[in-house]
Every structure is written in structure tokens, then in C-alpha cells.
Amino acid sequence: MDITAAVARGAQVPLALETITLEEPRADEVVVRIVATGVCHTDLVTKSVFPPELPIVLGHEGSGIVEQIGSAVTDVKVGDHVLLTYGSCGTCTQCTTGAPSYCEQFVMLNTSGGRTDFTSPLSIGGERVMGAFFGQSSFATHVLVGRRNVVVVDDDVDLVACAPFGCGVQTGAGAVANVMRPAPHESIVIFGAGGVGMSALLAARALGVENVVAVDLSAERLAVAKELGASTVIDGAAEDVVAQVQAATGGGATFALDTTAANPVIANALLALAPRGTLVLVGLGEAAMEFEIGHLTGNGKAVRGCIEGSCDPQEFIPQLIAWHRAGKFPIEKISRQYPFSEINTAMHDAEIGATIKPILVLPTAD
């Protein structure tokens, strides 16, 4: 079928809305008409590294309505409302033990530009276009996804507001809910109040954590963080960031989350922890950094990575929706909607930080 998609043809070239061919679904695949899709920092990074000779359709926080199902799909039906998430194989040790975000085929399924058999579901005039980005390529009117990318939701779920739940939101919120698992009396410091950091803040507050510190360079974002329940906000450019965190948390935070992937910030996050505190890293930055081993051996601190909130989307996305229904996760306060035709504006606003979480709204079906 012919669809409209935003095709990336190099770092310096704006995305172009083009007519593109989408394959028919294979046995385990589903065709979804996209209603909305979030713009994630990973979209920006990937656009900057894919060369012009490898055109790609990005987007990986889609929501929509199922229009076709493959012959082997039995638990999703045409007309179902769905949120889309990352791909996982379902058969490796990580997947079968409840940790699909650490799937042994994660890279191939999500960032290779195609399926595991090296094919792409997208083409223009018979020429391959890199697709299946995070199993979706949701910067398009329709997508072809694997069954494991699909989370079926109730028909009354707001598909626009909740579109980003499948990646950036679950990354931040899951880091708190699934990795930190804080008690209400414990403290959290979040470095970087973008979409992921704000989602972590919302999750912490939904779990009843009172002492949540937000650190960022933007006064505007810090004001939003304060509105969303941060107990203390700190200018990340201050020389005494660590001292301010320690003062706000009674000697150091129980948990720290770094969303910046900047080595100097990570170093501060480690210093800002209380003894036996845990630093969780969710960003991809420099390949290595130096730190004093004594911070770990002498104080019992821990540093660990986290992919996609260490969550099973089939379980965690319904939790996010439940929080949203209860008014505990007001994603609308950090998001802004853009028509699909303004995708380049949304990408630009995300890049410069003018919008915390852009959401693209697709044209309604005829």
C-alpha cells in the first residue's frame, strides 16, 4: 500500500513528506494507522548519523488503530487501539525471563534499519528505504510492526497524549519504578529535565516520593519541574551543584538518574549520592569515563545502566495509563502537539529544547 512518510536523507537535509510503499504484513506482523507519534532525542541522533545514501523513516513513539493483521496474529484484531513500543524477539533468555528491553537481538530489531532478515518493509519505486526503526518507523501515516511491538489499550485511551509512553516516557518512568523502586521517604536527584527526566519525576511523584531534586540548565524547564512536584530545583551551571543536592537531601540522594550522558554531569551525580546510593544511567554519550573506585568500594555506591526503563511494555504501559487516568501522570504538562506537516518544526524545537516532548498528530482517516 502507498502511504505518506517523513523521509530522512542526511543530517543537514529537512525531512521530506513522500509517498512510499509499505509491504503487506507477514504472518506475525500488524499494520497500524498512526494517530500520533512522539519525537524522541534518539530520532534526532539517528538522523544526524545516517548518511544521505541510506534514506530512513524514523519515529518510534507511535499510537494508532490496527487496520490489518498477519495470519499468525490471534490476540490483536482490526480496529484495536494500540500504543507502539520497541521490538524484542520473545525467545532469547532475556525475553523469556521478563527482561525484553535487554533482548539479545535488540540492536538488530530496533536500530539496524530493517528486520532481522535484513529486509525493510519500506521502498520508493522499488528502491529500499531503511525502515522498521524501533520496529516502527512511525513518522508515517501507516506502519508495519511485529506483534511484540503492539500494546493493545482501551478505546477511550487518549492516543495523542499517551503516544510517547512507548519509549521516552517509559525510559524515565521505568528507571524509577522498575530499577530504583524508591520508598516514599527516600530521595531522588534527576540530572536533565527533558522528556525522560520529567517522566522520571512524574513517576517518582506517582509513587509518593516527596524529596525529588531536578537539575537542569534551563530555568524554564526547572520551573516546569517545580510545578510537577520537584521539591528542589538546581541550576546545572552552578559551581556547587553537588553541595546543593546534598543539602536538599540531607547528606546525599538515595538515587540519582542521569539523562544527559555527559561525563562531567555523571561524575557530579555519583558525588551527589549518599553512601550506598545508586546511580542509574539511561543516556548514550562518550564511550568511557574515569572515576574513583573509592566512591564504590568506600561508600557502597552502585552504578548501573538501564534500557527502556527495564520494563516489559505489556505490563508497564498499562501502569502509565492507569497513572494518567488517575491524574498522577499529567503528560500534557510537558508535551506540545504539532500537525504532521510541521514535523521539521517539531524536530527543531526538540533539538533546541523549546519543547520538552513534541507530539506529531497525523491527519484523520477519510
pLDDT tens digits along 31-75: 999 999 999 999 999 999 888 999 999 999 999 999 999 999 999
204 shares its domain with 305: yes
221 shares its domain with 339: no
Domain count, the chain: 2
142 shares its domain with 131: yes
Give residue for cell 487516568.
325
| Cα–Cα distance measured from residue 191 to residue 126, given in angstroms and rounded to the nearest whole number | 46
pLDDT at position 292 is 79
| Confidence bin at 243 (pLDDT 50/70/90) | very high
pLDDT at position 366 is 47
Q: Which phi and psi angles does 135 have, rounded to 5°?
A: 70, 10
Range of the domain at 302: 169-310
Q: Which of 295, 310, 325 is the last residue of a domain?
A: 310
Report the candidate in 209, 220, 206, 164 with the shortest Cα–Cα distance to residue 185: 209
Cell of 35: 494517530
**Helix axis angle, 343-352 to 41-49, nearest 10°:** 100
Position 323 in a domain: no
pLDDT at position 365 is 59
pLDDT for 292-345, tens place per residue? 787 788 899 999 999 999 999 999 999 999 999 999 999 999 999 999 999 999
| Cα–Cα distance measured from residue 156 to residue 175, given in angstroms and rounded to the nearest whole number | 27
Cell of 275: 553512601
Mean pLDDT of the chain: 96
**For residue 79, what is the domain's CATH number?**
3.90.180.10
Position 329 in a domain: no
